[in-house]
Structure formats: structure tokens, C-alpha cells
């Protein structure tokens, strides 16, 4: 991330080639002073208009990519039902798909920061926190739809408890999201989204290794699953808050 002094030098070098009308500059400064100090600034757009504007100019390809991946996961569940998969097989597959879904979502989110956009947070041009928040909301909504479908579909077709299935897919999803999000926030890896993808693959492997232990399906392990789910939600909440704080550290424009 560039320092403010370095950026100011770049702006000063660029300004040398721009002819500025001194009289117009003074009038503009006076008008800005009147608007911001004396008269106050007026709201030109409502919150909903700002959100719709951000949605309009956001890269919508990432939504389609995440939706396509989740549709593929749903198709896999349908095919397993068609070919008569056993309960253990469908449980394993659902856990892996949930883990992969979380990894793909964070990898897609990391593309927002791979080009240095995080350095423009809280500038006079746009708010990266809002942009990241909107993307996380949309990606999370798509994932929630997929996970809910998996829980209800597997629960109905294989006659499994909805709560039990929800825990089975929720824990791998939260685990992978937490690992990938932590990797993405690492200072030395933030601009290399491939590292986030690698963390997602590693998380899926760890989920598969844990699933291979027969004891994890015993009734006595239900409390452990519930504690893991609660811990995952708590860790994710802390990470999201830290993510927005990290974005805020990239404020580089309109500082004076």
C-alpha cells in the first residue's frame, strides 16, 4: 500500500500539466466552505438509491459465477439421489459441497482486493466497505439458498433430521470460510487470490479427513458439532469485523 506522501507526490506531478484558473479555484473553495461549514451539505441521494447505484455498477459476473457453482452442487445432489446413494455417501458429499461453496465465495470476494481496490476505502469517490458488504451479502444469500436446499432435500429424501443435516453442512462451510477469510486478510497474501483458493482446497481436505472418522456420526458427538457450529459463527463474526477494519486502514484520498 502506498503512503500518503508518495500519493501526494504523484498527484502534484500530474497537476503540473493542468492549467488551473486561480480565480475559479478561489470561488470553488469559498463555495465549498459555505456548503460544508456554514450551510451544511444536503443529501442528494437516499440510502436505497446509493445501494441501487452500487449494485448497478458492481461486476455482476461474480454473482453469476457463484450462482453457477451452487447450481452445480445442487445438480450433484440430484444425481446422487437418482443413482441411489447411501446416507453416508450423501452426507459426505453434502459436507464437501458446503466446504467448497464457502471456499469459492471467499475466493470470489478476494478478487475485489486483488487489484488494490482495498486501498481506496472511504475515499471521496466510493466506499469499499459498502462494496465489500454488498458483495458479501449477495454471496452469502446465494450460499444460504444452496445450503438450505441441501438440508431440506437430503432430510426429506434420505429421511434425516433437518437439524442434524444442518449442523453437518454448517460446520464445514463455516470452517472453510474462516480459513479462507483469514488467508485473504493476511497482509502478504491479500493481492494473491490463488492463496485463498489454496486455503479452500486445504480446508476441504481437512473436512474430508475429519469425515472419515466414524465417531463423528455418533449421537454422543452431537454436542461437539453444536459447539463447533457456535464457535465457527463467532469466529466468522470477528473476522468480518476485522476485515472492515483492515479495509478502513487503506484510506488514501481526501485525507486533508
Give the pLDDT confidence of 74-109 residue by residue, as tens digits: 999 999 999 999 988 898 899 999 988 998 888 887
On whether both 50 and 146 belong to a single domain, the answer is no
For the segment 221-256, what is each residue's pLDDT rounded down to a tens digit?
Answer: 888 999 999 999 999 999 888 887 766 665 333 333
For the segment 172-182, what is each residue's pLDDT rounded down to a tens digit?
Answer: 999 989 888 88
| pLDDT at residue number 76 | 94
In a domain, 74, yes or no: yes
On whether both 42 and 116 belong to a single domain, the answer is no
In a domain, 231, yes or no: yes
Say if residue 192's pLDDT is above 50: yes
The answer, as to whether pTM is greater than 0.75, is: no
Scanning the structure block, which residue is given the C-alpha cell 459447539?
Answer: 227
For the segment 2-38, what is each residue's pLDDT rounded down to a tens digit?
Answer: 566 776 777 677 666 566 677 777 777 777 777 666 5
The rounded distance, in Å, linking the Cα atoms of 233 and 126 is 30
| pLDDT at residue number 37 | 65
On whether both 119 and 66 belong to a single domain, the answer is yes
The residue segments making up the domain with residue 25 are 20-57
The rounded distance, in Å, linking the Cα atoms of 121 and 213 is 45
On whether both 138 and 53 belong to a single domain, the answer is no
Q: Which helix (H) or strand (E) holds 65?
A: helix 61-82
Write the CA distances from 29 to 13, 22, 24, 207, 253, integer angstroms.
Answer: 22, 11, 9, 59, 18
The rounded distance, in Å, linking the Cα atoms of 172 and 176 is 6
Amino acid at each position: 500500500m502506498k503512503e500518503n506522501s508518495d500519493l501526494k507526490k504523484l498527484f502534484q506531478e500530474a497537476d503540473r500539466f493542468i492549467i488551473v484558473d486561480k480565480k475559479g479555484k478561489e470561488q470553488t473553495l469559498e463555495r465549498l466552505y459555505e456548503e460544508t461549514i456554514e450551510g451544511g451539505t444536503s443529501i442528494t441521494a437516499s440510502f436505497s438509491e446509493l445501494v441501487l447505484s452500487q449494485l448497478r455498477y458492481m461486476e455482476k459476473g461474480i454473482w453469476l459465477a457463484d450462482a453457477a457453482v451452487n447450481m452445480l452442487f445442487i445438480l450433484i445432489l440430484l444425481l446422487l439421489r437418482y443413482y441411489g446413494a447411501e446416507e453416508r455417501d450423501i452426507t459426505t458429499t453434502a459436507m464437501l459441497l458446503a466446504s467448497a461453496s464457502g471456499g469459492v465465495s471467499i475466493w470470489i470476494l478476494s478478487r475485489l482486493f486483488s487489484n488494490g481496490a482495498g486501498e481506496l476505502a472511504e475515499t471521496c469517490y466510493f466506499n469499499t466497505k459498502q462494496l465489500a458488504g454488498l458483495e458479501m451479502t449477495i454471496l452469502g444469500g446465494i450460499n444460504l439458498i444452496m445450503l438450505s436446499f441441501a438440508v431440506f432435500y437430503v432430510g426429506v429424501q434420505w429421511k434425516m433430521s433437518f437439524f442434524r443435516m444442518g449442523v453437518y453442512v454448517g460446520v464445514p462451510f463455516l470452517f472453510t470460510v474462516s480459513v479462507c477469510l483469514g488467508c485473504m486478510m493476511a497482509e502478504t497474501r491479500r493481492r494473491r487470490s490463488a492463496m485463498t483458493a489454496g486455503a479452500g482446497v486445504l480446508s476441504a481436505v481437512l473436512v474430508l479427513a475429519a469425515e472419515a472418522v466414524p465417531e463423528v456420526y455418533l449421537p454422543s458427538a452431537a454436542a461437539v458439532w453444536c459447539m463447533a457450529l457456535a464457535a465457527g459463527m463467532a469466529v466468522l463474526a470477528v473476522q468480518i469485523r476485522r476485515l472492515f477494519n483492515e479495509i478502513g486502514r487503506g484510506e488514501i484520498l481526501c485525507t486533508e
